[in-house]
Structure 1
Amino acid sequence: MYKHLFFDLDHTLWDFEKNSKESLADLYQAFSLHNWNLSELSAFQQEFSVVNRRYWSLLESNQITHEELRRSRFRDTLVNLGVEADETLGLQLNEAFLELLPQKSHLIEGAIEILDFLAPHYELHIISNGWQDVQARKINSSKIGHYFKEVITNERAEARKPDKRIFDYAIQVANARLSESIMIGDNFDADIMGAINAQMDSVFYNPDSFVAMQKPTFEIKKLIELKEIL
């Protein structure tokens, strides 16, 4: 039934949380954040995860811009932890983070196994709301670029998930048919509602058992379960 599989990247194939924690540990050392009344690395990592997710949610609902996310997420993280941080320090941390993060290579459990299984039978693509250069480096570092024919980002499509336009663009550049395409992602609002908006079938990768108001075409807890669907 399907010929084209469109994967989200962060949190679906590329292990953002694990790679982010490593990068934040590097920042903690490089910027000597222990001298800023930040005695616990784990608190820094945990607070950034919460703040970053909130900012991405705002971005995906078009309430803020990419630039606002870049400018504010580290400043807010530090301020929430009681550090007097200004926008300049926040930007410095963000730029260092974006340099470190794409060098990390941890993938979600089962990613390589399922990509090896699918690649001989389907055309695989990425649809991501991340920045083009950052996502390209992540794919390169984790050595999965050879699996994918097209990597579609919001910069290429001039739209971001869940906007129908990024899915329409992906279908066009992949030379695919909607009826032969399926979206696979972890973010219900961006990936699954985006696919529903575009009238594309979807697989909700849902390891945390998020309860959604609308049903995706399929739902899995582990990537390897794609073998039962595809």
Structure 2
Amino acid sequence: METITDVFFDLDHTLWDFERNSALAFAAIFEKHAIQVPLDEFLTHYVPINLKYWNWYRDEKVTREQLRYGRFKDAFDLAGYAIDRDTIDLLSDDYIAHLPIYNHLFDGTIALLDYLKPKYRLHIITNGFSEVQRRKIDNANIGHYFTTITDSEMAGVKKPNPIIFEYALTAAQADRKTSIMIGDCIDADVRGALGCGIDAILFTDAQTQTDPYIKQISHLSDLKNYL
């Protein structure tokens, strides 16, 4: 790791605590719109459905609008709550507006960024929507740590497509041989980066080794063992 000059991070589920912030956003909009579904029950359905739709979106199987509508509709259907299209559209817009308001980061994020910033150039590569991701970063007050921020709307493709990694390297004026990617998705972040000749580390709460050929950490502070 002595040759590393540029460190690329995923945002959601890696630095920014998506599930915690998402639950807070849902609590706010459910109260605002008097949605009569127990939040815990809804989230039990929504979390895996949202992941499924994001995987489909990453693989170009659904559009942005299909993702935003479908994940809500499927979750409410499983919760047995009748809801019309206009209400779903309203909730979806309100959820996107509320989500970046909350700024919980994973434990150790700020300490890690403070540790890395004097030693490396830091960057973000995210599949999220441009406006929403920028607001998350701004509200969490972490933008000043990063030299560049690349999102899938800017690049025109999503991780693991090699084009987004090439785009990010060009924007950062970084050499793939002296760069490393850290993210929570083994396919999009890790294998995507490795496929472009960029070293990578998987951030996961899995208690066993996911892949013996891939470097893996379970807490952000563990990155200090590599960087």
d(CA) in 2 for partners of 1:48 and 1:225?
30
> 1:78 is aligned with what amino acid?
F
Q: Compute the TM-score of the two structures, normalised by the length of structure 1.
A: 0.94
Which residue among 99, 108, 111 is the counterpart of 1:110?
108
What is the aligned partner in structure 2 of residue 51 from structure 1?
49
Deviations 1:65-121 (A, max 9, x none): 222101211111111111122332222111100000001010001100000000001
Larger displacement relative to structure 2 (21-30 or 40-49): 40-49
> 2:221 is aligned with what amino acid?
I
d(CA) in 2 for partners of 1:63 and 1:211?
30
SS of residue paired to 2:83: coil
Larger displacement relative to structure 2 (90-99 or 42-51): 42-51
d(CA) in 2 for partners of 1:125 and 1:83?
42
Deviations 1:158-202 (A, max 9, x none): 111010100011001100000010000001111012112212100
> 1:6 is aligned with what amino acid?
F
Contact 1:75 1:89 in 2 (8 A): no
What is the aligned partner in structure 2 of residue 180 from structure 1?
178
Aligned Cα RMSD in Å?
A: 1.3
Task: Spell out structure 1 runs of 4+ moving beyond 6 A.
Answer: none
Structure 1 gaps, min length 5:
none
* Cα distance change of structure 1 residues 103 and 179 upon mapping to structure 2, 3 Å threshold: same
d(CA) in 1 for partners of 2:83 and 2:96?
19
d(CA) in 1 for partners of 2:133 and 2:213?
29
How many residues align? The count is 225
What is the aligned partner in structure 1 of residue 117 from structure 2?
119
d(CA) in 2 for partners of 1:155 and 1:9?
15
d(CA) in 1 for partners of 2:94 and 2:12?
19
Matches within 5 A, 1:9-158: 9-34=11-36, 38=37, 40-158=38-156
> 1:96 is aligned with what amino acid?
D
TM superposition shift of 1:4: 0.5
Structure 2 gaps, min length 5:
none
TM superposition shift of 1:12: 0.2
d(CA) in 1 for partners of 2:210 and 2:223?
20
SS of residue paired to 2:181: strand
* Cα distance change of structure 1 residues 164 and 209 upon mapping to structure 2, 3 Å threshold: farther
What fraction of aligned residue pairs are identical, expressed as a percent?
37
Deviations 1:136-178 (A, max 9, x none): 0000110000000111000111111010100011001100000
SS of residue paired to 2:81: coil
d(CA) in 1 for partners of 2:181 and 2:44?
29
Contact 1:2 1:180 in 2 (8 A): yes
Which residue among 202, 220, 226 is the counterpart of 1:223?
220
SS of residue paired to 1:184: strand
SS of residue paired to 1:120: coil
> 1:14 is aligned with what amino acid?
W
What is the aligned partner in structure 2 of residue 6 from structure 1?
8
